[in-house]
């Protein structure tokens, strides 16, 4: 057992003792940003924040330079801490832990391993400063929710917050206190593999969903044992990599940066997100990890954010490969001065910071500021009060992968499904249907639905589509199942490290297609499960081809020849080229990678237990050549088509999307009318109420996402042709009419102008309301001085 009394005296420190220490240690650089801290994490009174600041500085005053640098070091520890070291590197980490020269560990994930790793520090180090344990809890911990892009299709902030809260509850029950989520990179390019981890192409939607996830992870009290610290990533521009290639360079102007990329991060900071993570990419030649203007000037100073900035994996050292730093020492100098507080797995700070301080290249004030940020979050989490507060074996047994959590995962999954196409109302199906064929390489796949970044989700643990159908239909229904084809050629063992999994696609083995065709002949309708393997998207999974890999289209066309009633059940992690599939199949259900309860959730929609309500958070192209593709484009000087060829378009494909941003059908029909404004002219400080009537004209109750779009017609900068500025999701019963009202004010209309500030510019505006980004109801208003 540790000496808890000694730990309390050295680390927690009473307010009275902290004041004495501050008086006697005049050289301590005390952080006076109390106003910022009053917003931080817990939304508590400034008195409590002042107490934490006093405690932080009291601990800082006791630390040696080696201990300070150690707090800025994060190691990955995917070893069994309860057993002997397995390598020289592990022994090195073990010795650093004993000396108290490590601030955080990631990839240590169980109560037993975390308790033992924490014990090494608490029983051996001088000051006994506890570790903070981090993990990539992206869309669930053991209970897996839809991939973030899929979950974003729900446009339901309440369930998104709830899924993050369940993820936090499970992760904290396993001893963790920090997740590297949410990813709030806006991305407009389907080729980018990591698009699956974000909320799509729109800045406003990404902002709202990002804040919801932060609130879910962190709750109202970060010191509560069921919450964990969130991390807004990647700061900044990661989703704008050239050609959709991961880690690639980003070339954007100042105005695009402020108007399209930074708003979700500004909102995250204002929402009290505990940590930020910088990005791998460079922005106009400056690596984000070493970008002083972004990290120190903007985030920490102008936005007055008091949290912790952590590097991405090895990104400090990668500035050498960028050609921005000559060696690891130089990279450390750049990163710490730029505002990157904690070094994740570059081994740069521990090797270089002490010498850099001695050489006068790094100020002790810079080090102290970074260490304060580390200590602050540890106090906020309550780790100084009890380093083992998250290490409860009973919670680990009862709160992970529970029946309740799985029920919530099923609810989130069904609300994330988007009905892209439903010609002739093929869906929903009757549960008493006489015969149904379930076909495809993903039809009985229990692993792909978990998606990439599945944390501790067990291999092959998802409910497959076939299982979901079997659970749903009546006993009199005959189910014909055939795989048809293999999507990939197995090359690795199940459950291997995701970054070691190469994918080879089957392009030759057609032996199962004939059986699939025979099954389709016997059935009234075919559920065809095709799309992407779980590891086609995610980090390092960029592709130039976003169509169907292998023999999937060949299987589709063979089945279509014998049965026209095809419902494509699309499982994927990115927007795909669905042009041919849309020509062949009357019905397409976008199901993403839905997580643990995938098959049950899909069955809920297919058989009408749930009326689909999802809307696309990304545009689906006619062809990959349209990428990057997004609805809120800017007009060129030649925006419109004519009989001549000299305008901004393609000669061999449409300019706009096959399935546009915000699109999603229902089993009922919603009619929009009576779009009214209570004013047509306002001053920059006034507001307008926009009202619209929505009628459920069908005979089925349903939810609709009502979307508000605005255009600023003339600006000091060219403005997008349309921008999402509000949405509301509501249930409307069959035959019912509801009126929805949006308020447009200065916050709605402002943008980062040519004056290099956020402001509303007077002028003419247009406003649309509808069920997608191609909403037709439109009104106009003007803003005057």
- Confidence at residue 19, expressed as pLDDT on a 0 to 100 scale: 34
Pair of tokens at residue 535 = 């590891």
Residue 768: enclosing H or E segment and its boundaries? strand 763-770
What is the b/e burial string over 329-364, where b = at least 16 CB atoms within 10 angstroms of the residue's CB?
Answer: bbbbbbbbbbbbbbbbbbbbbbebbbebbeeebbee
Residue 15 has pLDDT above 70, yes or no: no
Mean pLDDT value across the chain: 92
What's the pLDDT tens digit per position in 346-358? 999 999 999 999 9
Residue 83 has pLDDT above 60, yes or no: no
**Secondary structure E strands in 335-434:** 343-344, 418-422
Averaged pLDDT, 360-369: 98
CB 621 within 8 A of CB 174: no
CA 462 → CA 43, 144, 306, 412, 531, distances in Å? Answer: 38, 8, 40, 14, 17
What's the pLDDT tens digit per position in 143-172? 999 999 999 999 999 999 999 999 999 999
- Confidence at residue 6, expressed as pLDDT on a 0 to 100 scale: 40
Residue 543: enclosing H or E segment and its boundaries? none
CA quadruple 554, 556, 560, 561: dihedral, nearest 10: 20
CA distance linking residue 513 with residue 186, whole number of Å: 40
Instruction: List the single range of 90-99, 605-614, 719-728 with lowest mean pLDDT.
Output: 90-99
Please name the residue ranges forming H helices in 473-507: none
Q: 670-677 and 681-683: which strand pairing?
A: unpaired
CB 349 within 8 A of CB 362: no
CA distance linking residue 703 with residue 733, whole number of Å: 8
Cα distance from N-terminal residue to C-terminal residue, the chain: 69
CA distance linking residue 404 with residue 169, whole number of Å: 12
CA distance linking residue 313 with residue 278, whole number of Å: 10
Residue 405 sits at φ, ψ, to 5 deg, of: -65, -40
- Confidence at residue 381, expressed as pLDDT on a 0 to 100 scale: 97
What's the pLDDT tens digit per position in 461-517? 999 999 999 999 999 999 999 999 999 986 656 555 666 667 899 999 999 999 999
pLDDT band at 7 (very low <50, low <70, confident <90, very high): very low
CB 120 within 8 A of CB 372: no
CA distance linking residue 273 with residue 233, whole number of Å: 11
- Confidence at residue 500, expressed as pLDDT on a 0 to 100 scale: 64
- Confidence at residue 763, expressed as pLDDT on a 0 to 100 scale: 97
SS (H, E, C) 678-707: CCCEEECCCCEEEEEEEEECCCCCEEEEEE
pLDDT band at 20 (very low <50, low <70, confident <90, very high): very low
Sign of CA pseudo-dihedral 370, 376, 378, 380: negative
pLDDT band at 236 (very low <50, low <70, confident <90, very high): very high
Residue 41 has pLDDT above 70, yes or no: no
What's the pLDDT tens digit per position in 620-642? 999 999 999 999 999 999 887 76
Pick from 502, 491, 495, 509: nearest CA to 441 = 509
What's the pLDDT tens digit per position in 591-604? 999 999 999 999 99
Nearest-Å Rg of the Cα atoms of the chain is 27
Averaged pLDDT, 416-444: 98
CA distance linking residue 189 with residue 624, whole number of Å: 9
Pair of tokens at residue 62 = 């006791």
Please identify every residue annotated as catalytic. 312
Pick from 387, 385, 384, 408: nearest CA to 170 = 408
- Confidence at residue 22, expressed as pLDDT on a 0 to 100 scale: 35
pLDDT band at 77 (very low <50, low <70, confident <90, very high): confident
pLDDT band at 5 (very low <50, low <70, confident <90, very high): very low
CA distance linking residue 663 with residue 155, whole number of Å: 12
What's the pLDDT tens digit per position in 48-72? 589 999 999 999 999 999 999 999 9
pLDDT band at 718 (very low <50, low <70, confident <90, very high): very high
Q: Distance between alpha carbon 268 and the CA centroid of its chain, in Å?
A: 12
Averaged pLDDT, 276-287: 98
Identify the bridge partners of residue 589 per DSSP, sorted by sequence position: 419, 569
pTM: 0.93
Averaged pLDDT, 174-182: 98
CB 431 within 8 A of CB 607: yes
CA distance linking residue 313 with residue 104, whole number of Å: 13
Residue 770: enclosing H or E segment and its boundaries? strand 763-770
CA distance linking residue 773 with residue 662, whole number of Å: 5
Which residues lie below 8 Å from residue 388, measured CB to CB, with a gap of 6+? Answer: 115, 118
CB 728 within 8 A of CB 740: yes
pLDDT band at 40 (very low <50, low <70, confident <90, very high): very low
Averaged pLDDT, 93-102: 96
Residue 391: enclosing H or E segment and its boundaries? none
What's the pLDDT tens digit per position in 729-784? 999 999 999 999 999 999 999 999 999 999 999 999 999 999 999 999 999 999 99
CB 202 within 8 A of CB 617: yes
């Amino acid at each position: 057992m540790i000496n808890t009394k000694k730990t309390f005296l050295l680390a927690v420190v009473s307010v009275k003792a902290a004041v004495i220490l501050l008086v006697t240690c005049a050289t301590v650089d005390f952080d006076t940003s109390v106003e910022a801290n009053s917003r931080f994490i817990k939304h508590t009174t400034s008195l409590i924040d002042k107490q934490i600041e006093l405690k932080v500085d009291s601990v800082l005053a006791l630390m040696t330079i080696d201990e300070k640098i150690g707090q800025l070091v994060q190691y990955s520890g995917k070893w069994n801490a309860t057993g002997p070291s397995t390598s020289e590197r592990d022994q090195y980490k073990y010795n650093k832990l004993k000396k108290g020269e490590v601030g955080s560990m990631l990839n240590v994930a169980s109560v037993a391993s975390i308790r033992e790793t924490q014990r090494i520090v608490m029983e051996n180090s001088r000051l006994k400063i506890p570790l903070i344990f981090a993990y990539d809890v992206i869309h669930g911990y053991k209970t897996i929710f839809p991939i973030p892009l899929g979950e974003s299709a729900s446009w339901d902030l309440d369930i998104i917050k709830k899924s993050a809260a369940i993820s936090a509850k499970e992760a904290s029950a396993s001893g963790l206190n920090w997740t590297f989520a949410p990813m709030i990179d806006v991305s407009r390019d389907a080729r980018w593999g990591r698009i699956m981890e974000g909320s799509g192409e729109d800045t406003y939607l990404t902002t709202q969903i990002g804040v919801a996830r932060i609130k879910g992870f962190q709750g109202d009290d970060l010191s509560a044992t069921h919450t964990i610290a969130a991390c807004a990533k990647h700061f900044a521009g990661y989703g704008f990599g050239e050609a959709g290639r991961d880690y690639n360079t980003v070339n954007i102007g100042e105005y695009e940066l402020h108007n399209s990329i930074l708003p979700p991060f500004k909102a995250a900071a204002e929402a009290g997100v505990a940590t930020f993570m910088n990005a791998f990419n460079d922005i106009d030649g400056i690596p984000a990890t070493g970008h002083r203007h972004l990290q120190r000037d903007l985030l920490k100073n102008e936005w007055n954010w008091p949290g912790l900035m952590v590097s991405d994996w090895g990104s400090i050292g990668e500035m050498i490969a960028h050609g921005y730093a000559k060696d690891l020492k130089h990279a450390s100098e750049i990163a710490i001065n730029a505002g990157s507080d904690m070094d994740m797995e570059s081994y740069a700070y521990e090797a270089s910071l002490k010498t850099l301080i001695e050489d006068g290249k790094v100020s002790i004030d810079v080090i102290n500021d970074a260490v304060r940020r580390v200590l602050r979050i540890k106090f906020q989490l309550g780790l100084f009060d009890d380093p083992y507060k998250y290490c409860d074996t009973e919670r680990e047994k009862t709160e992970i992968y529970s029946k309740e959590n799985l029920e919530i995962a099923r609810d989130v999954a069904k609300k994330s499904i988007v009905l892209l196409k439903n010609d002739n109302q093929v869906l929903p199906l009757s549960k008493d249907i006489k015969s149904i064929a379930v076909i495809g390489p993903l039809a009985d796949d229990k692993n792909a639905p978990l998606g990439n970044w599945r944390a501790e989700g067990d291999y092959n643990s998802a409910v497959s589509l076939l299982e979901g159908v079997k659970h749903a239909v009546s006993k009199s229904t005959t189910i014909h199942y055939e795989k048809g084809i293999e999507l990939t050629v197995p090359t690795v063992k199940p459950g291997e490290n995701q970054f070691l999994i190469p994918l080879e696609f089957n392009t030759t083995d057609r032996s199962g297609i004939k059986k699939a065709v025979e099954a389709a002949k016997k059935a009234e309708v075919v559920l065809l499960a095709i799309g992407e393997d779980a590891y086609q998207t995610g980090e390092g999974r960029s592709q130039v081809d976003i169509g169907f890999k292998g023999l999937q289209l060949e299987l589709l066309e063979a089945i279509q020849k014998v049965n026209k009633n095809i419902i494509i059940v699309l499982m994927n992690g990115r927007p795909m080229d669905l042009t041919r599939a849309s020509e062949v199949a009357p019905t397409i259900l976008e199901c993403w990678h839905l997580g643990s309860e995938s098959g049950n959730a899909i069955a809920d929609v297919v058989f009408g237990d749930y009326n689909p309500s999802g809307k696309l958070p990304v545009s689906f192209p006619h062809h990959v050549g349209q990428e990057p593709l997004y609805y809120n484009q800017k007009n060129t000087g030649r925006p419109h088509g004519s009989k001549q060829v000299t305008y901004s378009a393609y000669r061999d494909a449409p300019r706009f999307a096959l399935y546009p941003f915000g699109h999603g059908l229902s089993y009922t029909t919603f009619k929009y009318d009576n779009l009214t404004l209570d004013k047509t002219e306002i001053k920059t400080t006034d507001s307008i109420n926009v009202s619209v009537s929505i009628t459920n004209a069908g005979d089925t109750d349903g939810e609709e996402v009502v979307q508000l779009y605005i255009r600023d017609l003339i600006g000091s900068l060219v403005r997008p042709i349309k921008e999402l500025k509000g949405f509301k999701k509501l249930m409307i019963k069959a035959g019912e009419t509801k009126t929805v009202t949006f308020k447009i004010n200065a916050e709605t209309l402002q943008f980062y102008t040519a004056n290099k500030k956020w402001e509303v510019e007077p002028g003419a505006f247009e406003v649309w309301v509808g069920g997608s980004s191609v909403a037709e109801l439109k009104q106009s208003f003007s803003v005057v001085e």
